[in-house]
Amino acid sequence: MNHEQYDDWLTLYADQRRSLVDYATKLTGLRDVAEDMVQEAFTICLARNDRDYKISKVFLYTVVKNLVRNRHRHLGVRRAGHPEDYPWWARYQRTGTPEAQVLILERARLAARAIEELPPRTRAVVELYRFEGLTLQQTASQLGISVATAHRLLKEAMECLWDRLDFDG
> Which band of pLDDT confidence, cut at 50, 70 and 90, is reported for residue 91?
low
150 vs 15, residue with greater confidence? 150
Contacts of 44 (CB under 8 A, 6+ apart): 63, 67
pLDDT tens, position by position, 124-145: 999 999 888 889 999 999 999 9
pTM over cut 0.75: no
Task: Inform me whether the pLDDT recorded for 70 exceeds 80.
Answer: yes
Question: Residue 71 has what pLDDT?
Answer: 85
Q: Are 128 and 138 in contact (CB under 8 A)?
A: yes
The span from the CA of 116 to the CA of 123, in Å, is: 7
The span from the CA of 168 to the CA of 120, in Å, is: 26
The span from the CA of 94 to the CA of 58, in Å, is: 52
**AA identity, residue 67:** L
Strand partners, 56: 5
